[in-house]
């Protein structure tokens, strides 16, 4: 712990969204193959769960596989997919023990059907847990999400289900993959890159941003705590005057 006050005494970000970046650089710094970096990255994600709950986080969204990641070297894509499948197969009892609800955002149908089915099954089985909601962004891209939402709304307008005059922000939000989920209060990106990379663009309009040079596999619960400290010290105005 960094000596910060307990969760109850500081303003906690209830929903934290993370771009887990730097697995490749971590692996090459250790002289290991890239897959070892992704494996260490998956472990780093798992290690956050108990502390995230203790710190008062209710929702953790992890950018696990982007739409753009399909363009990586085919062997790396296979390695990441098999890692995701391994994690899913091995995590059921752990999710149950920690009361973690698994939720997926993204185009899950892009995945091989065995992976997609297992993910959906685990999502359904864990739907009633309320210890922590872990959202995995899989084959996710924010622009793709906004596009599919606009398309769905367009179809509903065309067949008379929606009156175009009723179109508002809430209606758009209802058609996104993130429908019904709270918006993130804190966005974290590791590895020193200062980009959003097509992650949750609609949802993070008023989210606090936190960047760290720590490579994802080295990101520990103490790093998460430091990010929450930074969040707790920020004043948020949501575009309103800071002079009240």
Cα 78 to Cα 34: distance, rounded to the nearest angstrom: 12
Q: Per rule CB under 6 A, is residue 62 in the interface with ligand FPP?
A: yes
- Residue 29 CA, chain-centre distance (Å), reads 26
CA dihedral over 40, 182, 133, 222, signed as positive or negative = positive
Q: Per rule CB under 6 A, is residue 35 in the interface with ligand FPP?
A: no
Given the rule CB under 6 A, which of 80-88, 110-118, 205-213, 221-229 is the region that contacts ligand FPP?
80-88
Place of tokens 């999502």: 123
Catalytic residues: 21, 69
Q: Per rule CB under 6 A, is residue 105 in the interface with ligand FPP?
A: no
Residue 82 phi, psi dihedral angles, 5° rounding: -70, -30
Residue 41 CB, nearest approach to ligand FPP (Å): 3
Q: Select the residue interacting with ligand FPP from 12, 16, 84, 228 (CB under 6 A).
A: 84
Q: Per rule CB under 6 A, is residue 139 in the interface with ligand FPP?
A: no
Strand pairing category for 59-66 and 100-105: unpaired
Q: Per rule CB under 6 A, is residue 24 in the interface with ligand FPP?
A: yes
Q: How far is CA 3 from CA 29, 78, 95, 111, 230, in A?
A: 31, 42, 29, 43, 13
The answer to whether 88 and 45 are in contact (CB under 8 A) is no
Residues 182-211, interacting with ligand FPP (CB under 6 A): 191
Residue 2 CB, nearest approach to ligand FPP (Å): 24
Residue 19 CB, nearest approach to ligand FPP (Å): 8
Residues in contact with ligand FPP, counted by CB under 6 A, come to a total of: 18
List residues near ligand FPP by CB under 6 A: 20-25, 38, 41-42, 45, 62, 64, 69, 80, 83-84, 87, 191
């Amino acid at each position: 712990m960094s000596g910060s006050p307990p969760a109850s005494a500081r303003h906690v970000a209830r929903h934290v969204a993370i771009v887990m970046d730097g697995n490749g650089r971590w692996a090459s710094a250790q002289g290991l193959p890239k897959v070892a970096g992704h494996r260490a990255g998956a472990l780093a994600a798992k290690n956050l769960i108990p502390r995230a709950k203790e710190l008062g986080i209710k929702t953790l969204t992890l950018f696990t596989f982007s739409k753009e990641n399909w363009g990586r070297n085919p062997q790396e894509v296979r390695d990441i997919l098999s890692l995701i499948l391994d994690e899913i197969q091995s995590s059921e009892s752990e999710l149950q023990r920690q009361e973690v609800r698994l939720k997926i955002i993204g185009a899950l149908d892009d995945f091989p059907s065995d992976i997609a089915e297992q993910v959906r099954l685990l999502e359904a089985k864990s739907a009633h847990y309320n210890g922590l909601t872990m959202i995995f962004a899989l084959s996710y891209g924010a622009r793709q999400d906004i596009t599919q939402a606009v398309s769905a709304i367009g179809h509903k307008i065309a067949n008379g289900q929606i009156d175009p005059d009723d179109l508002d922000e809430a209606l758009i939000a209802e058609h996104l993959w993130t429908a019904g989920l709270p918006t993130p209060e804190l966005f974290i990106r590791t590895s020193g890159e200062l980009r959003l990379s097509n992650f949750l663009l609609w949802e993070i309009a008023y989210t606090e941003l936190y960047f760290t040079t720590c490579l994802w596999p080295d990101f520990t619960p103490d790093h998460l705590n430091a990010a929450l400290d930074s969040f707790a010290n920020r004043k948020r105005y949501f575009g309103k005057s800071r002079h009240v």
